[in-house]
């Protein structure tokens, strides 16, 4: 009797499809297969096999079992759990899990190697080639190493002295050396590392809560060493929120273990992606450092997951399959029987609450490493000491920058806003430049001379005349971005060496690493940066941090605005004084009496957290309650309005659940699609994912209308 294979396909389909297993194929759960789907043949993964008990219709057979490695059982279970939690099609997270398997393989590399034969005619140039040919290498590299022309190498190939070979460019990952150590832990670090080392095996969650500069990275690397030492097949995953920070962590891991880890993020080339994916599945890559999607890699024996800067909003995936990597990391750890370590100087309120109630173990590092101490933080009241007209840096900050430069030290000017100016308007008619069919303002980028929508990616040259009224030379730039702050700093300090660190000026991981190395080496005097440089980096000569617009994150109706502003500014100011030189931070603000500013100035995180927790508890908001968002969008406003009204009437009436909306989204138009939102608040005891799944099942959106569900939303736009 043949078996039936349930095959999950990496597409937004509601469930796995059944196929007949051909006689003798011998499928197993996790196998990658090719199956027919309509007129196409698709890649899929077997998630279940059962005996055929007869049916009323014949099933199409599985076309073939692919040679690619199967997904381990833990990965298959995790993909299915993530889909149920996010109330999404299981093919969506599967597509993330198969991203490496579907990536292009590296092409065989043509190299030349010595055959042992002597050349017919010996010359000094040929001798240098043979001396340099100690190992196979590309012909161009060999010519360069020997200092000869390509023709000399070709002549030796023609004579048979050298031969051309094709080799597999994939190379194995070097095993980590757990005994290698380059730093000594202070007593606080050593105590935390020992607590992690002595922890019982299996699943657990620990919050590593340490002030900026306390040496959390060294502690979690010791936890990684302990996991690798305890099990010769163990694998470790370290998640970092930004590509720039990923590069810093990779360097630290390589220094600690004497071997580079696997690297996983959006900037790596497809062949490298494939290599890491296959090595992870085979258990040959013992340490992976990556962005949030690395959580879906097919680990063979995952034993530790580290979420560095666990509070960071970059761990939230907002498009496509919507998830929060920190929360899913805990679930992956439970499924795999792995320890989970959440590290931060400014933990999320959710993690702090879990630590306070005993759900997570809580390890605290309260002092900076070595002789370093926390920087002094001063608030600059812009109502009393505003910048000069047309400028954005206040006199106290400018004076501090001058003093810092005179001492040969470095300054970081922090503004979490890309480009030159966030708004361009016409002074003749008041028209604000926006992206086509989108409510988002266009941001001026003076380096490129373009206006860019950071939401949709649309860009255009800055016009000479207003597109609305036709007035020439009437478009003016409103507000500062990092480019404008850099322009002002350059005018004030023309002899200083300046650089800008943002995603518009640092395009890939290599550029990020190069800029961080230049800053660490003291080759930059003033660094103007967005949040890309605000966390995780150590700059020995950086002693002054100036926050240009400390109030920026407090604007709007985001329930996490205060928490996120505190976290971001505490991280940014924490870059100063991390070594033997004292540091200070100056925060420019129009609201110095705000609770966030007062907590930062007093460096009293506990008081801020207590006040924020009390407000959340009264309102039943996270971490004391649960939230979900529904975003409905469509091209026709009338059709969308009718649908969301029907959806509101279909909401299940469940105790402990409150539904708010529908309401216009703050960004009501994106790419020509109108947007409406619901917000759902639920008590902690409610299975919110099940509630949202039941609600979604009650409505069928018309063709053009799309519905997205966001469990535990971080964006309210």
500-528 pLDDT per residue, tens: 998 777 777 778 888 888 998 999 999 99
Decide if 314 is inside a domain: yes
Q: How far apart are CA 347 and CA 315, in angstroms?
A: 13
Listed range (237-241, 321-325, 362-366) with the worst mean pLDDT: 362-366
Same domain, residue pair 400 and 548? yes
Q: 556, 586, 613: which is the final residue of a domain?
A: 613
> Looking at the predicted structure, is the pLDDT value of residue 149 above 60?
yes
Decide if 352 is inside a domain: yes
Same domain, residue pair 350 and 212? yes
Same domain, residue pair 407 and 555? yes
Read off the pLDDT of each residue in 7-15 and give the average, rounded to a whole number: 94
Task: Determine phi and psi for 335, rounding to 5 degrees.
Answer: -65, -40
Same domain, residue pair 565 and 640? no
Confidence category of residue 285, pLDDT binned at 50, 70, 90: very high
Residue 522 CB-density burial (10 A; 0-12 exposed, 13-18 middle, 19+ buried): middle
Q: Which residues, at least 6 apart from 205, have a Cβ–Cβ distance to it below 8 Å?
A: 330, 333, 339, 340, 341, 342, 354, 359, 360, 361
Angle between helices 124-132 and 150-159 (to 10 degrees): 80
Angle between helices 150-159 and 139-146 (to 10 degrees): 120
Residue 497 CB-density burial (10 A; 0-12 exposed, 13-18 middle, 19+ buried): middle
Q: How far apart are CA 428 and CA 637, in angstroms?
A: 31
Q: How far apart are CA 620 and CA 682, in angstroms?
A: 8
Residue 668: CB atoms within 10 A of its CB come to 17
Domain with residue 15: its CATH number is 3.40.1440
Same domain, residue pair 51 and 163? no
pLDDT confidence of residue 308:
95
Decide if 619 is inside a domain: no
Tokens of 692: 């949202």
Answer for the pair 665, 630: CB distance below 8 angstroms, yes or no.
no
Q: How far apart are CA 284 and CA 174, in angstroms?
A: 9
pLDDT confidence of residue 57:
74
Q: How far apart are CA 178 and CA 226, in angstroms?
A: 8
Question: Where is 565: in which H helix or E strand?
Answer: helix 561-573
**Residue 408 falls in which region: left (phi positive, over 0), alpha (psi -120 to 50) or beta:** left
Confidence category of residue 358, pLDDT binned at 50, 70, 90: very high
Task: Determine phi and psi for 544, rounding to 5 degrees.
Answer: -130, 130
Q: How far is CA 3 from its chain centroid?
A: 41
Per the listing, tokens 């129009």 go with 590
Confidence category of residue 390, pLDDT binned at 50, 70, 90: confident
What b/e sequence results for 366-401 when a residue is b if at least 16 CB atoms lie within 10 Å of its CB, and e otherwise? ebbbeebebbebebbbbeeeebeeebbbbebbbebb
Per the listing, tokens 């060493």 go with 225
User: For residue 196, how many C-alpha atoms fall within 13 Å in the half-sphere facing its CB?
Assistant: 34
Read off the pLDDT of each residue in 14-37 and give the average, rounded to a whole number: 94
Per the listing, tokens 């795999």 go with 336
For the stretch 630-646, pLDDT in tens is 999 999 999 999 999 99
Q: Which residues, at least 6 apart from 183, have a Cβ–Cβ distance to it below 8 Å?
A: 218
Q: How far apart are CA 234 and CA 666, in angstroms?
A: 47
| Closest by CA position to 335, among listed 663, 121, 576, 73 | 73
Q: Which residues, at least 6 apart from 220, have a Cβ–Cβ distance to it below 8 Å?
A: 196, 208, 238, 306, 308, 341, 343
For the stretch 474-505, pLDDT in tens is 999 888 999 999 999 999 999 999 999 987 77
Decide if 427 is inside a domain: no
Same domain, residue pair 380 and 360? no
Read off the pLDDT of each residue in 33-54 and give the average, rounded to a whole number: 91
User: For residue 146, how many C-alpha atoms fall within 13 Å in the half-sphere facing its CB?
Assistant: 25
Confidence category of residue 370, pLDDT binned at 50, 70, 90: low
pLDDT confidence of residue 684:
93
* Domain ranges, residue 312: 187-365
Answer for the pair 260, 174: CB distance below 8 angstroms, yes or no.
yes
pLDDT confidence of residue 306:
97
Listed range (84-88, 283-287, 304-308, 512-516) with the worst mean pLDDT: 512-516
> Looking at the predicted structure, is the pLDDT value of residue 368 above 70?
no
| Closest by CA position to 8, among listed 104, 105, 98, 86 | 98
Decide if 281 is inside a domain: yes
Domain with residue 697: its CATH number is 3.30.70.600
> Looking at the predicted structure, is the pLDDT value of residue 532 above 80?
no
Residue 631: CB atoms within 10 A of its CB come to 18
Tokens of 412: 């970081």
Same domain, residue pair 128 and 197? no
Per the listing, tokens 């666990």 go with 310
Confidence category of residue 536, pLDDT binned at 50, 70, 90: low
Same domain, residue pair 357 and 383? no
Number of domains in the chain: 5
Same domain, residue pair 120 and 235? no
Confidence category of residue 410, pLDDT binned at 50, 70, 90: very high
> Bridge partners of 341?
206, 306
Listed range (198-202, 314-318, 432-436) with the worst mean pLDDT: 198-202
> Looking at the predicted structure, is the pLDDT value of residue 557 above 70?
no
Question: What is the overall mean pLDDT for the chain?
Answer: 91
Q: How far apart are CA 478 and CA 44, in angstroms?
A: 51
Listed range (48-57, 227-236, 272-281, 406-415) with the worst mean pLDDT: 48-57
Enter the DSSP assignment of 35. Answer: E
Domain with residue 283: its CATH number is 3.40.50.300
| Closest by CA position to 597, among listed 558, 549, 559 | 549
Same domain, residue pair 294 and 346? yes
Decide if 494 is inside a domain: yes
Residue 511 CB-density burial (10 A; 0-12 exposed, 13-18 middle, 19+ buried): middle
Same domain, residue pair 380 and 316? no
Answer for the pair 662, 676: CB distance below 8 angstroms, yes or no.
yes
Same domain, residue pair 304 and 244? yes
Q: How far apart are CA 516 and CA 95, in angstroms?
A: 33
Answer for the pair 605, 352: CB distance below 8 angstroms, yes or no.
no
Decide if 11 is inside a domain: yes
Q: Which residues, at least 6 apart from 198, have a Cβ–Cβ distance to it below 8 Å?
A: none
Distances (CA, A) of 543 to 143, 450, 487: 48, 34, 21
Decide if 370 is inside a domain: no
What b/e sequence results for 245-258 when a residue is b if at least 16 CB atoms lie within 10 Å of its CB, and e otherwise? bbbbbbebbbebbe
Residue 158 CB-density burial (10 A; 0-12 exposed, 13-18 middle, 19+ buried): exposed
Q: How far apart are CA 561 and CA 239, in angstroms?
A: 24
Q: How far apart are CA 296 and CA 281, in angstroms?
A: 11
Listed range (36-40, 245-249, 336-340) with the worst mean pLDDT: 245-249
Per the listing, tokens 């409406």 go with 676
Answer for the pair 309, 535: CB distance below 8 angstroms, yes or no.
yes
Q: 97, 132, 152: which is the final residue of a domain?
A: 97
Residue 1: CB atoms within 10 A of its CB come to 6
């Amino acid at each position: 009797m043949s078996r039936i294979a349930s095959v999950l396909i990496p597409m937004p389909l509601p469930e796995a499809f059944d196929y007949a297993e051909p006689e003798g194929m011998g499928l197993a759960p996790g196998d990658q297969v090719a199956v027919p789907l309509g007129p196409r043949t698709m890649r899929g993964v077997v998630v279940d096999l059962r005996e055929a008990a007869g049916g009323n219709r014949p099933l199409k057979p599985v076309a073939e079992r692919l040679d690619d490695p199967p997904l381990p059982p833990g990965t298959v279970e995790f993909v299915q759990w993530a889909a149920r939690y996010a109330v999404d099609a299981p093919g969506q997270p599967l597509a993330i899990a198969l991203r490496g398997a579907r990536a292009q393989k590296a092409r065989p590399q043509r190299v030349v190697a010595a055959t042992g034969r002597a050349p017919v005619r010996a010359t000094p140039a040929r001798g240098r080639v043979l001396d340099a040919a100690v190992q196979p290498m590309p012909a161009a590299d060999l010519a360069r190493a020997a200092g000869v022309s390509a023709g000399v190498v070709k002549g030796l190939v023609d004579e048979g002295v050298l031969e051309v070979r094709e080799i597999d460019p994939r190379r194995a990952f070097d095993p980590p050396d757990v005994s290698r150590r380059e730093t000594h832990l202070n007593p606080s670090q050593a105590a935390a590392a020992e607590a992690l080392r002595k922890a019982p095996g299996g699943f657990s969650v620990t919050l590593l809560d340490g002030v900026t500069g306390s040496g959390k990275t060294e502690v979690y690397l010791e936890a990684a060493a302990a996991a690798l030492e305890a099990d010769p097949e163990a694998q470790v995953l370290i998640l970092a929120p930004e590509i720039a920070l990923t590069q810093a962590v990779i360097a630290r891991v390589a220094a600690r273990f004497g071997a580079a880890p696997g690297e996983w993020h959006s900037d790596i080339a497809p062949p490298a992606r494939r290599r890491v994916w296959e090595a992870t599945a085979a258990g040959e890559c013992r340490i992976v450092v990556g962005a949030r999607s690395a959580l879906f890699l097919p680990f063979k024996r995952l034993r530790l997951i580290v979420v560095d800067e666990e509070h960071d909003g970059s761990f939230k995936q907002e498009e496509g399959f919507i998830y929060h990597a920190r929360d899913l990391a805990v679930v992956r750890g439970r499924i795999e029987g792995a320890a989970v370590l959440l590290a931060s100087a400014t933990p999320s309120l959710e993690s702090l609450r879990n630590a306070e109630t005993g759900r997570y173990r809580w390890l605290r590092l309260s002092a900076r490493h070595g002789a370093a101490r926390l920087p002094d933080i001063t608030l600059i009241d812009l109502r009393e000491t505003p910048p000069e007209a047309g400028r954005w840096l206040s006199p106290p900050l400018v004076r501090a920058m001058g003093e810092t430069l005179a001492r040969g030290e470095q300054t970081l000017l922090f503004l979490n806003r890309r480009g030159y100016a966030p708004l361009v308007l016409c002074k003749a008619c008041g028209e604000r430049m926006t992206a086509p069919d989108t409510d988002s303002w266009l941001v001026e980028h003076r380096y490129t001379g373009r206006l860019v929508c950071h939401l949709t990616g649309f860009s255009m040259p800055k016009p000479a005349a207003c597109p609305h009224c036709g007035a020439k030379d009437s478009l003016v730039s409103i507000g500062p971005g990092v480019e404008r702050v850099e322009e002002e700093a350059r005018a004030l300090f023309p002899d200083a060496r300046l650089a800008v660190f943002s995603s518009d000026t640092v395009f890939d991981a290599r550029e990020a690493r190069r800029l961080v190395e230049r800053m660490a080496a003291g080759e930059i005097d003033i660094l103007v940066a967005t949040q890309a440089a605000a966390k995780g980096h150590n700059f020995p000569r950086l002693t002054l941090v100036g926050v240009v617009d400390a109030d920026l994150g407090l604007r709007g109706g985001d329930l996490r605005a205060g928490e996120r502003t505190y976290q971001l500014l505490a991280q940014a100011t924490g870059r100063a004084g991390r070594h033997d030189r004292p540091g200070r931070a100056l925060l420019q603000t129009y609201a110095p009496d705000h609770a966030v500013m007062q907590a930062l100035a007093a460096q009293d995180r506990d008081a801020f957290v207590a006040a924020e927790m009390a407000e959340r508890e009264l309102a039943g908001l996270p971490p004391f309650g649960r939230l979900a968002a529904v975003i409905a969008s469509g091209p026709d406003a009338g059709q969308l309005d009718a649908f969301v009204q029907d959806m509101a009437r279909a909401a299940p009436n469940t105790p402990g659940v409150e539904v708010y909306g529908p309401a216009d989204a703050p960004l009501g138009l994106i790419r020509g699609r109108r947007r409406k939102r619901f917000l759902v608040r639920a008590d902690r005891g409610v299975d919110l994912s099940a509630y949202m799944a039941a609600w979604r099942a009650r409505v069928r959106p018309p063709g053009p209308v799309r519905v997205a569900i966001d469990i535990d939303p971080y964006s309210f736009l």
